[in-house]
């Protein structure tokens, strides 16, 4: 089990946090951060910067925090990453893995993610004026971005810095996309997201909501309104092609539905709001990613008994070790090496449990594979089953725009080595073009597509 | 404060209200058979309601709803000039049937609100269109005159005989099928009534489309809560619906999904 490192942030006590939905990790204090920064060796060729898909000047901002200049540090981060507060909480931190202090016998990398968070928490609100003054001459070109998720926001902020006018169109009533409905309050407080959205719109990005591109306005209408380029950053949606949900039992949910009810519709406030969480007393969750663990932790906070069924080892859970630790502290029961077979129903088609079989590594034809163990079937008692990981590219627009081609994997077809789709002047990035990505990779993709659109609008050839 | 103002409001039958809402963008792009998602305030449900009429000149859309759940009552209690928190749309796949010779549009009580835009479209395209309106009693029959305007002739059936003829919509349908060569039937009614209609229509050449009550949570296919089974495959109502081939729908699952989100 992972332990919190030295100099790591303080956390909410378990008994307390099970009764609220607010952030669990409380972050470093200013003093703690300044102490942590002193451990940084300030390498001449920093590996952390090379590992960061966004290329944030990590030693640079650490130096500033060491001197107590939090606003300056935030400013430094925002040169490369406009969404510092979000990355400081939810980035997978490849920089910490690359940190040279991670290679020693007793690996203790610099807590770069926590430092980024400190820079945002304590440096916010002071760097805005500087950036506004920095804006280069306007080019007079207009770009519409569809989807206000991480990719859309990142690309929007970058395109704006290049001098273009940017309008972000969002179908739902709140901006933020997956950040808004997919990540729970205890990992990414809505306050932080609001602050980031306010920052992006303070730069000059116009954020519109309740506009479904394809239905309310078509791509053609957007071009008629004078947009010079369109970026599709619609991300991921529910995947109905996967077989597991093909059971008519009452009480089977997709993880997205539970997350949407809880994060977007605030179902935890029921009966103050009308939306119900839609889960029973015993919840079984299938999956291994962040969506599964987030659903589990939300259900635990509702006072439910939660079992997470996962078909590999505990180490294979694709979440940060800290979050896994938090979940287990909160009372999550992990059924590892268990493969779900079918949903047990009663006469009224209501879920009664989840039949699983144990799996184990076995040497079959010389390859280590996970195979079912004989006579090891068991039933996890549950009245609700949440299935996670059912994602596919959100190609809603392609339904209304036949010229937009979708490839066999379900992603938008892009031109070779480019991010332009089959329609000229229409670009795509992030989940809709590449599938599930770690947040920081998606942000990097947003940044790259912004460069590509900028090159296209300025009439320069593509670098690639 | 909220942008989507209530322009007019009318009680058209017992517990059924008609509302015009200012939503210029949606009014411009709405097509027959589509619906909108409506939220009265941040705490209410996302109610999917059919677009009965859209007026691009005035920039308003018309919705009709029955006040049953708490959210619907809240919506009904809004007065003229007040605003809605969210009106998102248009959603769903529009019904644009091609080359229809003779058609029948069947609406039952509040279902008439779903069928009327389709009926109007058919009438405009020059189809010989018959309307069959059904209700339990006179007090729950709506939009008779609008339906009359968009059909060659209409048949009103009530179960207690308080309006029109006494009987069921299937009785009238049986009549029409005997007299005219019908090739399309559109039906907006509770599942039980649709199943009755399926029983009456024997000829497999007659296409039967069911205009189902819309069902959506996110409305853009994000959360998978609007998955229903049509022809043994899963489809999303907010993307592919709410009009489906009535012979293919798994009605039990549909009703269960409706109950799960709004029940």
- Tell me, what's the pLDDT at B239? 86
Domains in chain A, CATH or no CATH each: 14-130 (1.10.1060.10), 137-237+391-457 (3.50.50.60), 242-387 (3.50.50.60)
When the pLDDT of each residue in chain A is averaged and rounded to a whole number, the result is 87
Cβ-nearest to B45 among A237, A256, A274: A274
Region A263-272: what's the mean pLDDT? 88
State the residue for tokens 């059971």: A247
Residue A249 has pLDDT above 80, yes or no: no
Residue B227 has pLDDT above 80, yes or no: yes
Calculate how close chain B gets to A248, using CA atoms only, in Å: 7
Q: List, for residues B67-112, the tens digit of each pLDDT value.
A: 998 889 999 999 999 999 999 989 999 888 887 789 999 999 999 9
Calculate how close chain A gets to B230, using CA atoms only, in Å: 12
Size of interface A-B (CB pairs under 8 A): 106
Q: Which of A124-138, A147-161, A408-422 has the lowest mean pLDDT?
A: A124-138
Kindly determine whether residue B219 and residue A399, on different chains, have CB atoms separated by under 8 Å: no
Region A137-141: what's the mean pLDDT? 83
Q: List, for residues B188-215, the tens digit of each pLDDT value.
A: 999 999 999 999 998 899 999 999 998 8
By CB neighbour count within 10 A (0-12 exposed, 13-18 middle, 19+ buried), where does A77 fall? buried
Residue A135 has pLDDT above 70, yes or no: no
- Tell me, what's the pLDDT at A7? 47
What is the longest distance spanned by two Cα atoms in chain A?
Answer: 71
Contact yes or no for A339/A372 (Cβ under 8 A) = yes
Cβ-nearest to B224 among A240, A248, A264: A240
Report d(CA A21, CA A7) in Å as an integer: 25
List Cβ neighbours of B130 (8 Å cut-off, separation of 6 or more). Answer: B102, B103, B104, B105, B151, B152, B153, B154, B155, B176, B180, B182
pLDDT-derived band at A408, boundaries 50, 70, 90 = confident
Residue A134 has pLDDT above 70, yes or no: no
Burial B118-153 (b: 16+ CB within 10 A, else e): bbbbbbeeebbbbbbbbbeeeebbbbeebbeebbee
List Cβ neighbours of A439 (8 Å cut-off, separation of 6 or more). Answer: A86, A87, A90, A91, A92, A150
Kindly determine whether residue A260 and residue B218, on different chains, have CB atoms separated by under 8 Å: yes
pLDDT-derived band at B49, boundaries 50, 70, 90 = very high
The two structure tokens encoding residue A168: 């972000």
Contact yes or no for A446/A437 (Cβ under 8 A) = no
- Tell me, what's the pLDDT at A321? 84
The two structure tokens encoding residue A36: 């942590």
Q: List, for residues A18-69, the tens digit of each pLDDT value.
A: 988 999 888 888 888 988 899 899 999 999 999 999 999 999 999 999 998 9
Report d(CA A153, CA A148) in Å as an integer: 6
Residue ranges of alpha helices (H) inside chain B are 24-29, 70-76, 112-124, 144-149, 169-179, 191-200, 237-240, 251-262
Q: List, for residues B118-133, the tens digit of each pLDDT value.
A: 999 999 999 999 999 9
**Nearest chain B alpha carbon to A260:** B223
**CA dist B16 → A220, B12, B79, B87, B136 (Å):** 38, 6, 15, 19, 14
Calculate how close chain A gets to B19, using CA atoms only, in Å: 20
CATH value of B95-211 in 1.10.10.10, 3.90.1010.10, 3.40.50.80, 3.40.50.720 = 3.40.50.80
When the pLDDT of each residue in chain B is averaged and rounded to a whole number, the result is 91
- Domain B4-91 class in CATH: mainly beta
Residue B145 has pLDDT above 80, yes or no: yes
Cβ-nearest to B71 among A216, A246, A274: A274
pTM > 0.80: yes or no: yes
Q: Which of A129-133, A157-161, A273-277, A434-438 has the lowest mean pLDDT?
A: A129-133
Region B5-16: what's the mean pLDDT? 93
pLDDT-derived band at A347, boundaries 50, 70, 90 = confident
- Tell me, what's the pLDDT at A435? 86
DSSP B253: H
Residue A315 sits at φ, ψ, to 5 deg, of -70, -20
- Tell me, what's the pLDDT at A132? 55
Region B231-255: what's the mean pLDDT? 88
Kindly determine whether residue B256 and residue A238, on different chains, have CB atoms separated by under 8 Å: no
Calculate how close chain A gets to B161, using CA atoms only, in Å: 37
What are the sequence ranges of the domains in chain B? Answer: 4-91, 95-211, 212-263
Kindly determine whether residue A238 and residue B236, on different chains, have CB atoms separated by under 8 Å: yes
pLDDT-derived band at A369, boundaries 50, 70, 90 = confident
Please give the sequence-ordered ranges of beta strands (E in DSSP) within A174-304, or none if there are none.
206-208, 229-232, 236-238, 252-254, 282-286
- Tell me, what's the pLDDT at A317? 87
Q: List, for residues A172-226, the tens digit of each pLDDT value.
A: 999 999 999 999 999 999 999 999 999 998 888 999 989 999 888 889 999 999 9
Classify A162 in phi/psi space as left (phi over 0), alpha (psi -120 to 50) or beta: alpha
Q: List, for residues A74-104, the tens digit of each pLDDT value.
A: 989 988 998 999 999 999 889 999 999 988 7
- Tell me, what's the pLDDT at B234? 85
Kindly determine whether residue A215 and residue B221, on different chains, have CB atoms separated by under 8 Å: no
Cβ-nearest to A394 among B34, B221, B224: B221
Residues of B in contact with A250 (CB under 8 A): 256, 260
Mutation site for B-interface testing, chosen from A274, A384, A397 by largest number of B Cβ within 10 Å = A274
- Tell me, what's the pLDDT at B1? 61
Residues of A in contact with B70 (CB under 8 A): 274
Interface confidence (ipTM) of the complex: 0.91
**Nearest chain A alpha carbon to B88:** A210
Residue B63 has pLDDT above 60, yes or no: yes
Kindly determine whether residue B221 and residue A396, on different chains, have CB atoms separated by under 8 Å: yes
Report d(CA A16, CA A33) in Å as an integer: 25
Calculate how close chain A gets to B226, using CA atoms only, in Å: 10
Residue A324 has pLDDT above 50, yes or no: yes
pLDDT-derived band at A244, boundaries 50, 70, 90 = low
pLDDT-derived band at A4, boundaries 50, 70, 90 = very low
């Amino acid at each position: 089990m992972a332990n919190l490192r030295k100099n790591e942030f303080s956390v909410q006590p378990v008994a307390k946090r099970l009764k609220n939905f607010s952030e669990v990790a409380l972050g470093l204090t200013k003093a703690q951060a300044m102490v942590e920064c002193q451990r940084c060796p300030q390498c001449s060729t920093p590996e952390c910067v090379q590992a960061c898909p966004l290329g944030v000047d990590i030693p640079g901002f650490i130096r500033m925090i060491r001197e107590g200049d939090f606003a300056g540090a935030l400013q430094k981060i925002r040169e490369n990453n406009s969404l510092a507060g979000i990355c400081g909480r939810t980035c997978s931190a490849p920089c910490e893995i690359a940190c040279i202090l991670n290679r020693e016998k007793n690996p203790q990398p610099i807590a770069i993610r926590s430092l980024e968070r400190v820079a945002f928490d304590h440096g916010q609100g002071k760097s805005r004026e500087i950036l506004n003054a920095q804006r280069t001459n306007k080019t007079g070109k207009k770009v519409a971005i569809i989807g206000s998720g991480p990719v859309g926001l990142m690309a929007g902020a970058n395109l704006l810095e290049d001098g273009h006018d940017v309008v972000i169109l969002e179908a739902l009533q709140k901006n933020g996309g997956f950040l808004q409905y997919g990540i729970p309050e205890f990992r990414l407080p809505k306050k932080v997201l609001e602050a980031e959205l306010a920052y992006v719109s303070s730069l000059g990005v116009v954020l519109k909501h309740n506009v479904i591109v394809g239905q309310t306005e078509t791509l053609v209408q957007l071009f008629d309104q004078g947009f010079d380029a369109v970026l599709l950053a619609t991300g991921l949606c529910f995947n109905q092609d996967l077989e597991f949900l093909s059971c008519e039992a009452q009480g089977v949910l997709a993880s997205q539905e539970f997350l949407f009810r809880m994060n977007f519709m605030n179902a935890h406030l029921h009966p103050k709001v009308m939306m119900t969480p839609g889960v029973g007393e015993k919840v079984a969750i299938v999956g291994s990613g962040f969506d599964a663990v987030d659903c589990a932790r939300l259900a635990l906070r509702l006072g439910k008994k939660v079992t997470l069924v996962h078909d590999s080892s505990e180490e294979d859970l694709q979440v940060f070790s800290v979050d896994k630790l938090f979940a287990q502290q909160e009372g999550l029961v992990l059924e590892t090496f268990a493969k779900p077979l079918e949903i047990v129903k009663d006469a009224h088609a209501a879920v009664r449990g989840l039949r699983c079989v144990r799996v184990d590594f076995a040497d079959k034809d010389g390859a280590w594979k996970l195979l079912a163990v004989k006579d090891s079937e068991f039933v996890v008692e549950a009245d609700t089953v949440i299935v996670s990981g059912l994602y596919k590219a959100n190609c809603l627009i392609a339904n209304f725009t036949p010229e937009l081609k979708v490839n066999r994997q379900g992603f938008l077809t892009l031109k070779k080595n480019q991010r332009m789709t089959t329609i000229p002047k229409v670009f795509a990035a992030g989940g809709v073009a590449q599938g599930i990505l770690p947040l920081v990779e998606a942000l990097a993709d947003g940044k790259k597509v912004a460069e590509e659109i900028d090159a296209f609008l300025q009439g320069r050839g593509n670098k690639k | 404060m909220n942008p989507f103002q209530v322009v007019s409001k009318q009680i058209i039958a017992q517990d059924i209200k008609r509302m015009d809402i200012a939503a210029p963008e949606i009014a411009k792009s709405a097509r027959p058979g589509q619906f909108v998602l409506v939220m009265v305030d941040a705490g209410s449900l996302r109610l999917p309601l059919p677009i009965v009429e859209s007026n691009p000149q005035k920039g308003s859309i018309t919705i009709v709803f029955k006040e049953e759940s708490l959210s619907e009552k809240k919506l009904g209690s809004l007065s003229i000039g007040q605003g809605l928190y969210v009106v998102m749309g248009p959603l769903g796949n529009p019904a644009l049937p091609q080359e229809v010779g003779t058609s029948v549009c069947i609406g039952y009580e509040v279902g008439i609100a779903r069928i009327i835009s389709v009926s109007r479209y058919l009438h405009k395209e020059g189809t010989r269109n018959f309307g069959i309106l059904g209700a339990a009693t006179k007090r729950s029959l709506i939009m008779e005159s609008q339906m009359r305007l968009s059909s060659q002739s209409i048949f009103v059936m009530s179960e207690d005989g308080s309006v029109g003829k006494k009987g069921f919509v299937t009785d009238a349908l049986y009549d029409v099928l005997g007299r005219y060569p019908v090739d399309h039937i559109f039906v907006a009614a509770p599942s039980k009534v649709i199943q009755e209609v399926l029983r009456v229509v024997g000829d497999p050449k007659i296409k039967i489309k069911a205009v189902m009550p819309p069902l959506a949570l996110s409305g853009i296919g994000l959360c998978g809560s609007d998955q229903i089974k049509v022809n043994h495959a899963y489809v999303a109502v907010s993307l592919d619906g709410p009009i489906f081939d009535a012979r293919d729908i798994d009605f039990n699952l549909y009703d269960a999904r409706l109950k799960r989100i709004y029940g």
